[in-house]
């Protein structure tokens, strides 16, 4: 009887403390590589077949992404699961962590000091993720003030071209997709997906070109991603009419790029469950447009 009780106790313990088991592996075929991607020491090329624990499972994706290495911040690979007709995007970008502007208010936001301005645009090793477009009223700046003939410029490289976008004047900063990422070309305006842009720099420029452009001291290059741009980037992935699974995209974004608390704060949602449901619906809405 004593041995029987020990067996039962062990069974109950294991029932509540699930021991890690070997994950079933899935056969994936590499169908596209941008840049250089290496998995466990093997450089991935189109047509290469590899076995990886099922990346549909969020825990597996979180662990396996550490086994990928990328030549640059924009490199990525698309993996095809033929058996289930699914495609998985593994990108250097999804190894990053996002955060918001760290401002308390919703809607029109106010920045009242140089400290708040620098904190908002100094994400460190992270990126700034914006759920919606923002207008920032910067009335308390001294060192970083842009008013009168002084403009605030966002500079970045896109397809080998140096882009300067005016985003701030008269103490008002416009963080919109049009203001930041709509580029004027001889053929007309071109909309750039923010998810494809790295290393944004903030600069000052005088309205009169005599003073030229001055780099703002104390700011390291950073990225600004709009949530809808991230979703559109994933939604555009396609191979023979096979596209990414929406739930896999959901786990790639939450909490990497956006958190439940940020959604709650910016959208005005009460609970974390509602925030998660909001994100799933947003993903579905974007995917249904492709």
- With vertex at residue 15, the alpha carbon angle to CA 9 and CA 18, rounded to the nearest 5 degrees, is 125
Give the pLDDT mean for 118-136.
93
- For residue 214, what is the enclosing H or E element? strand 213-215
Question: What's the pLDDT score for residue 105?
Answer: 57
- Strand locations in 112-176 (E): 127-130, 134-138, 150-158, 161-169, 172-175
At 139-197, the pLDDT tens digits run 989 999 999 889 999 999 998 899 999 999 999 999 999 999 999 988 899 999 999 99
* Arithmetic mean of pLDDT over the chain: 89
The C-alpha angle with vertex 70 and arms to 65 and 73, in degrees rounded to 5, equals 100
> Is 244's pLDDT higher than 90?
yes
The reported pLDDT for the residue numbered 212 is 75
Q: Quick one: DSSP state of residue 83?
A: T
**Cβ atoms of residues 78 and 32 within 8 Å:** yes
Residue-wise pLDDT for 91-109, tens only, equals: 999 988 899 998 865 566 8
**Residues near 192 by Cβ (< 8 Å), separated by ≥ 6?**
158, 181, 182, 183
What the block records as the tokens of 237 is 């992935």
Q: Which of 62-66, 102-106, 237-241 has the lowest mean pLDDT?
A: 102-106
| pLDDT for residue 218 | 86
- For 54-63, 96-105, 228-237, which range has the lowest pLDDT when averaged over its residues? 96-105
pLDDT for the residue 145: 94
Q: What does the pLDDT read at residue 216? A: 87
Please say whether the beta carbons of 127 and 225 come within 8 A: yes
pLDDT of residue 7: 44
Domain chopping of the chain, boundaries: 1-95, 98-227
DSSP state of 91: E
Show the DSSP H helices in 71-146 as ranges. Answer: 114-120
What distance lies between CA 127 and its chain's CA centroid? Answer: 7
- Position 126 confidence tier, pLDDT thresholds 50, 70, 90: confident
The per-residue pLDDT for 117 is: 95
């Amino acid at each position: 009887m004593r041995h029987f009780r020990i067996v039962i106790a062990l069974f109950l313990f294991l029932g509540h403390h699930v021991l890690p088991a070997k994950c079933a592996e899935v056969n994936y075929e590499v169908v596209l590589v941008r840049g250089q991607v290496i998995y466990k020491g093997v450089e991935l090329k189109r047509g290469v077949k590899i076995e990886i624990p099922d990346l549909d499972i969020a825990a597996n994706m979180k662990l396996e992404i550490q086994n990928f290495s990328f030549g640059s911040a924009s490199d990525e690979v698309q993996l095809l699961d033929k058996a289930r007709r699914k495609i998985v995007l593994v990108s250097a970008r999804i190894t990053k962590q996002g955060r918001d502007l760290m401002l308390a208010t919703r809607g029109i936001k106010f920045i009242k000091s140089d400290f708040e301005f620098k904190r908002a645009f100094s994400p460190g090793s992270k990126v700034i993720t914006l759920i919606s477009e923002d207008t920032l009223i910067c009335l308390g700046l001294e060192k970083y003030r842009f008013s009168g003939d002084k403009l605030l410029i966002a500079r970045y490289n896109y397809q080998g071209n140096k882009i300067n976008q005016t985003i701030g004047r008269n103490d008002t900063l416009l963080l919109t997709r049009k203001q930041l990422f709509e580029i004027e070309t001889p053929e007309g305006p071109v909309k750039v997906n923010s998810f494809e842009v790295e290393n944004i720099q903030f600069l000052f420029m005088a309205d009169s070109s005599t003073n030229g452009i001055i780099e703002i001291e104390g700011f390291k290059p950073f990225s600004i991603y709009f949530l809808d741009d991230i979703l559109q980037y994933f939604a555009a992935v396609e191979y023979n009419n096979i596209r990414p699974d929406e739930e896999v995209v959901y786990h790639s974004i939450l909490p990497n790029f956006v958190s439940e608390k940020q959604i709650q704060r910016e959208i005005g949602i009460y609970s974390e469950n509602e925030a998660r449901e909001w994100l799933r619906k947003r993903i579905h809405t974007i995917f249904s447009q492709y």
